[in-house]
Amino acid sequence: MEVPILKQGEVLIATFQAALSDADLNLLRMGLVQQVVKFRSRAVIVDVTAMDVMDSFASRTLREIAHMIRLRGAETVIVGIQPEVAFAMVQLGLTLEGVATALDLEEGLAYLIQKFKNID
Amino acid sequence: MRAGEIRAAINSDQDIVTARQKGRALAIELGFSTGDGTLIATAISELARNIVSYARRGEITLKIVHASNRQGISIIASDSGPGIRDIHQAMRDGFSTSGSLGLGLPGVRRLMDEFEIASEPGRGTVVTVKKWKL
């Protein structure tokens, strides 16, 4: 399953679908990092609103994506973790430590704009 | 109400997705809340992932279970893989032999109401978990 990656100025927006397999997540990790390099993006927003399950593999992949992108000098924001998904993640002991999160796409963009303002 | 059980063969990462979708569908059909459906689907995802990571192939069986005046769902994850040498160690947070997070089994136990594990080195592993409807 292909994950659409949208380019919005200096920000890339990746929208996750509900039924991503491990292979899909691995492809996405590579694809996102490559696109950050290609477009010299300053930030990536990963929208997981449609994801109905965030298991250990998915959350580890998200953390890895954020860390790789940070090594490129760009920022990652995970947006749209659903309340019941958040509950399941906490029960499983999964954290996204060191990764910025926001309520939704709008909040994620607002967070980045504020951040860029402080840097520029 | 549907009877019997649902079986899902687990041979690949795509099968993990299929199994958890079947589990959620059954949970919703039984009248579980969407929140519980998510917990059940997440538990299936972790159990199926253990099968793929450690045993390569196995099976997830979903059953409707009854006790006195309540109904629940039972998930049986079975494989004929290498088995677990030290179950107590495997049930501790942070233990892993496959380079994963090692949160699988204790996490699954927290997601569900009942948890049982039987494993024999060289023979395989069977994990049975249950969630009861409130």
- Please identify which residue in the block is written with the tokens 């990963």: A46
Determine the average pLDDT of the residues in B15-28: 96
* Contact flag B42-A23 (C-beta cutoff 8 Å): no
- Inform me whether the pLDDT recorded for A3 exceeds 80: no
- Inform me whether the pLDDT recorded for B82 exceeds 70: yes
Where in chain B are the domains? Answer: 5-132
Average pLDDT score over chain A = 92
φ, ψ of residue A28 to 5 degrees: the values are: -65, -40
Kindly report the pTM of this predicted structure. Answer: 0.91
Q: What is the percent of chain A with per-residue pLDDT over 90, rounded to a whole number? A: 78
- Inform me whether the pLDDT recorded for B8 exceeds 70: yes
- No. of H helices and E strands in chain B? 4, 5
Closest CA to A62 of A110, A19, A18, A14: A14
Nearest-Cα residue of chain A relative to residue B112: A91
Q: Do residues A81 and A57 touch, judged by C-beta distance below 8 A?
A: no
d(C-alpha A23, C-alpha A29), whole Å? 10
* Contact flag A53-B100 (C-beta cutoff 8 Å): no
Nearest-Cα residue of chain B relative to residue A21: B14
**Looking at the partner chain, which of B21, B38, B46 has a beta carbon nearest the beta carbon of A19?**
B21
Structural domains for chain A: 5-119 (3.30.750.24)
d(C-alpha A9, C-alpha A41), whole Å? 8
pLDDT in tens, B43-72: 999 999 999 999 999 999 999 999 888 999
**Looking at the partner chain, which of B17, B39, B100 has a beta carbon nearest the beta carbon of A56?**
B100
**What pLDDT shows up at residue B102?**
55
**Looking at the partner chain, which of B13, B39, B104 has a beta carbon nearest the beta carbon of A88?**
B39
Closest CA to B48 of B58, B39, B40: B58
CATH architecture of B5-132: 2-Layer Sandwich (3.30)
Name the minimum distance, in Å, from the CA of A116 to any CA of chain B: 33
Q: Which residues of B touch A81 (CB under 8 A)?
A: none
Q: Are strands A5-8 and B58-67 parallel, antiparallel or unpaired?
A: unpaired
**Looking at the partner chain, which of B34, B37, B42 has a beta carbon nearest the beta carbon of A55?**
B42
d(C-alpha A95, C-alpha B112), whole Å? 19
Q: What is the ipTM of this complex?
A: 0.90
Q: Which residues of B touch A57 (CB under 8 A)?
A: 49, 100
**With b meaning 16 or more CB within 10 Å and e meaning fewer, what string describes B94-103?**
eeeeeebbbb
φ, ψ of residue B20 to 5 degrees: the values are: -70, -30
A-B CB pairs within 8 A amount to 70
Q: Do residues A44 and A80 touch, judged by C-beta distance below 8 A?
A: no
Q: Which residues pair with B65 in a beta bridge?
A: B72
B69 contact partners, CB below 8 Å, separation of at least 6: none
Determine the average pLDDT of the residues in B12-26: 96
Q: Do residues A34 and A6 touch, judged by C-beta distance below 8 A?
A: no
* Contact flag A88-B16 (C-beta cutoff 8 Å): no
CA atoms within 13 Å, Cβ hemisphere of B30 = 26
Determine the average pLDDT of the residues in A59-74: 94
